[in-house]
Structure 1
Amino acid sequence: MKNMMGLINLHESDELLREIASYRPLGAIPFAGRYRLIDFILSNLINSGITNVGILAAGNSRSLMDHIRSGKEWDLARKKDGLFILPSLQTGHVQGAFPNDLADFFNNLDYIKCSRQRYVLLAGSRMVCNINFESVLRFHTERKADITVLYKEYDGSDTSRLKNATLVETDSDGRVIDMEICPVNARSNKLSMEMYLIDRQLLVDLIDASMSRGGTNVARDCFIKNLASLRMYGYLFSGYLACINSVQSYFEHSRELLNPEVWQELFFANGSIHTKVKDEAPAKYQQDAIVQYSLVANGSVIAGKVENSILFRGVKVHKGARIVNSIIMQKGEIGPGAVLENVICDKDVKITAGKKLKGELNHPVVIGKGTVV
């Protein structure tokens, strides 16, 4: 895959993820005990043989930069090609269905122009999956497409997975005839994975033309407005996909990872998922610990009861505490006798002795970073 480069666009709306994205970009949100959302697209790119990767930063990216560092964990610390952080002129959160990302693409156009690969794989970070892009490139060249967009097809009755997302509609030949960004009523059951394969020079031309006509959003102004003149095809992805676009979807997809089949596919189907290495001791289970159907990361110390939950690195669960259907992020501490059910605790949260917190499966309680309850 020496003929393809990757471009990760972190201008993703986080309006419905504010509780866990208030001080970090969406790509830096912790997921699955040890990972961040951006780990999945980075790993997919490198597992596909793509070694030139640019990350279009957005908002407060300090936590993201701390996580990625030189890109060594993804084999992107290279003398030739490698990892490139493309700065943004914008600050704050990315709001609305149409983020103003076109200006940042235009300001970093030299990076795209100077790259030696013919094709660009443009993607975000909120679509969590395990995919090899070699088959996508074959599909793209066989159909002589201008743009190939990846999509996941759902049962028509499963409308919950189609909310707050981009939908595509294809004809019998697989050509994309319509695209909608966050429609109120879903008119298609094909969820765009917001991953686009496009000729590098065509992308440069579309960005330049759209910018000169007052455009602000790449998906809308470069792709959707040119559907009639471009040969855009849809590539059906049949594997597991988690679209993280709200607190509810984050909670739901996190709980799906407790299914061994889902875990196996997501982390090993087309290569391993890599993340930042931390040298910590294995999780320690004390004499009174009871852990059932849960993911527990290294560095944790468990003395209470944990059921159907995900515990990140360095979590402490004291004796008598009970955690059910919950997510406890890094260095959380659950005091003696505390009870948590359907709760998401961000990093460094401390729940003191005897406290009881209960949410609902469709509306979990979210405790912000560093909070003491």
Structure 2
Amino acid sequence: MRAVGIILAGGNNQKMRELSNKRAIAAMPVAGSFRSIDFALSNMTNSGIQKVAVLTQYNSRSLNEHLSSSKWWDFGRKQGGLFVFTPTITVGNNFWYRGTADALAQNLDFLRRCHEPYAVIASGDGIYKLDYSKVLEYHIEKKADITVVCTEVPEGDDISRFGVVKMNDDGRIEDFEEKPVEASGNAISAGIYVIRRRQLIELIEKAASENQFDFVKDILVRYKNMKRIYAYKMDSYWANISTVDAYYKTNMDFLKPEVRDYFFRQYPDVYSKIEDMPPAKYNPGADVRNSLVSAGCIINGKVENSILFKKVFVGENCVIKNSIILNDVYIGDNTYIENCIVESHDTIRANSRYVGEGGVKIVVETNERYVM
């Protein structure tokens, strides 16, 4: 594919609450064995993109560790490869990334050295499968300056956290509202863009010269009437995990057979970093129903409608319902957990009770296993 890939994975927001205290949103665990960024990376390699840059910033250690070897996504190659860029203090700049456009501006040297004529920009917090080459074909066919991948959100979903688009019958975007309080439609931007590389450089340089730092507000919204901006409609599964409720709902979607079949059994595959672990172990008395249980887990109690990530220990007489248990959690005997997300590396003491009554409850306990 004649494009360089760029994944924006440096942002953070308070809507993830305690879950983003020690990791970037793009590093959030998803569906038992994956990280959020795995989906964008897999789409890149499955689309034939051979060179990808990941721009990280906030709480990037966990994400950088996950990306330490590029072979899992087939980017361990002589031509192209996976590049991870963090903010760098230089003679001419001493700022962190002040926005998505500024993140690109601080890495323009990378774009200038590339030879691919196009750029595919994606966020690191989207859960979906997409062939970017089809988006590029559409982009060329429409003679577009920028193509925005769009999708429709179901009625009742919170649309105020997305960019809402209006398009004409030809697919050209006529209006773009970034996170409106009240939206007049349900077509939103999926945070995926295709643009000619040289034009991207020109637009980013102009924005930087005017101290404008946001790609959506300062480029897409600003140039909506001056540039040919088209919408590519995406009708397959798409989710964004930038809030606690959205993260919980997206993971719970993987308990649906049709969603699991789409991501895990239909081509193309989703790839992730592999860890050598024994299979899950179900001891006598274990009762597991409609749940995802990852490698390295040991189950002694009851698990229902839940997702258990790697290396979770569930003690005797425990009950876990409608919950997400992140990596490496020890749950003591006689514990009851319902409608919760339990943070990774936690120790839940025996006889504990956690119930999310007014919504999803995030459980963060002092990890006595690692206290020196």
Using the size of structure 2 for normalisation, the TM-score is 0.94
SS at match of 2:258: helix
Aligned pairs for 1:352-363 within 5 A: 352-360=349-357, 363=359
Q: How far does residue 370 in structure 1 lie from its aligned partner after superposition?
A: 5.1
Distance 1:242 1:371, change over 3 A: farther
Equivalent-residue separation in structure 2 for 1:312 and 1:124 (angstroms) = 23
Partner of 2:276: 279
Partner of 2:361: 365
CA contact (8 A) 1:358 1:365 kept: yes
Equivalent-residue separation in structure 1 for 2:153 and 2:169 (angstroms) = 17
Q: How far does residue 10 in structure 1 lie from its aligned partner after superposition?
A: 1.5
Partner of 1:350: 347
Aligned pairs for 1:145-294 within 5 A: 145-155=144-154, 158-294=155-291
Equivalent-residue separation in structure 2 for 1:22 and 1:202 (angstroms) = 36
Distance 1:268 1:370, change over 3 A: farther
Partner of 2:302: 305
Moved more, 112-121 or 179-188: 179-188
SS at match of 1:112: helix
Distance 1:153 1:131, change over 3 A: same
Q: How many residues align?
A: 365
Equivalent-residue separation in structure 2 for 1:275 and 1:56 (angstroms) = 18
Aligned letter for 1:37?
S
Equivalent-residue separation in structure 2 for 1:234 and 1:170 (angstroms) = 7
Equivalent-residue separation in structure 1 for 2:96 and 2:270 (angstroms) = 27
Equivalent-residue separation in structure 2 for 1:169 and 1:371 (angstroms) = 49
Q: How far does residue 169 in structure 1 lie from its aligned partner after superposition?
A: 1.2
Equivalent-residue separation in structure 1 for 2:207 and 2:25 (angstroms) = 26
Equivalent-residue separation in structure 2 for 1:110 and 1:92 (angstroms) = 17
Distance 1:178 1:269, change over 3 A: farther
Q: How far does residue 281 in structure 1 lie from its aligned partner after superposition?
A: 0.3
CA contact (8 A) 1:348 1:370 kept: no
CA contact (8 A) 1:43 1:74 kept: yes
Partner of 2:317: 320
Q: How far does residue 135 in structure 1 lie from its aligned partner after superposition?
A: 1.3
Equivalent-residue separation in structure 1 for 2:126 and 2:267 (angstroms) = 16
Deviations 1:119-176 (A, max 9, x none): 1000101111011112111111111111110011134xx1324231121111111101
SS at match of 1:208: helix
Equivalent-residue separation in structure 2 for 1:371 and 1:167 (angstroms) = 42
Deviations 1:163-215 (A, max 9, x none): 31121111111101111221111222012101000000000000001111121
Aligned letter for 1:23?
K
Aligned letter for 2:340?
V
Distance 1:299 1:93, change over 3 A: farther
CA contact (8 A) 2:176 2:220 kept: no
Aligned pairs for 1:44-59 within 5 A: 44-59=43-58
Q: Does 1:103 align with 2:102?
A: yes
Q: How far does residue 89 in structure 1 lie from its aligned partner after superposition?
A: 4.6
Aligned letter for 1:239?
S
Q: How far does residue 227 in structure 1 lie from its aligned partner after superposition?
A: 1.0
Q: Does 1:19 align with 2:18?
A: yes
SS at match of 2:213: coil
Moved more, 288-297 or 51-60: 51-60
Q: How far does residue 15 in structure 1 lie from its aligned partner after superposition?
A: 1.8
Equivalent-residue separation in structure 1 for 2:62 and 2:201 (angstroms) = 30
Moved more, 84-93 or 302-311: 84-93
Partner of 1:60: 59
5+ residue gaps, structure 2, are none
Equivalent-residue separation in structure 1 for 2:361 and 2:212 (angstroms) = 39
5+ residue gaps, structure 1, are none
Q: How far does residue 101 in structure 1 lie from its aligned partner after superposition?
A: 2.9
Partner of 2:127: 128
Q: How far does residue 266 in structure 1 lie from its aligned partner after superposition?
A: 2.7
Distance 1:128 1:166, change over 3 A: same
Moved more, 100-109 or 340-349: 100-109
CA contact (8 A) 2:12 2:58 kept: no
Q: Percent identity?
A: 34
Q: How far does residue 267 in structure 1 lie from its aligned partner after superposition?
A: 3.4
Q: How far does residue 236 in structure 1 lie from its aligned partner after superposition?
A: 0.6
Equivalent-residue separation in structure 1 for 2:75 and 2:318 (angstroms) = 42
SS at match of 2:351: coil
Aligned-pair RMSD on alpha carbons? 2.0
CA contact (8 A) 1:59 1:93 kept: no
Aligned letter for 1:211?
A
SS at match of 2:157: helix
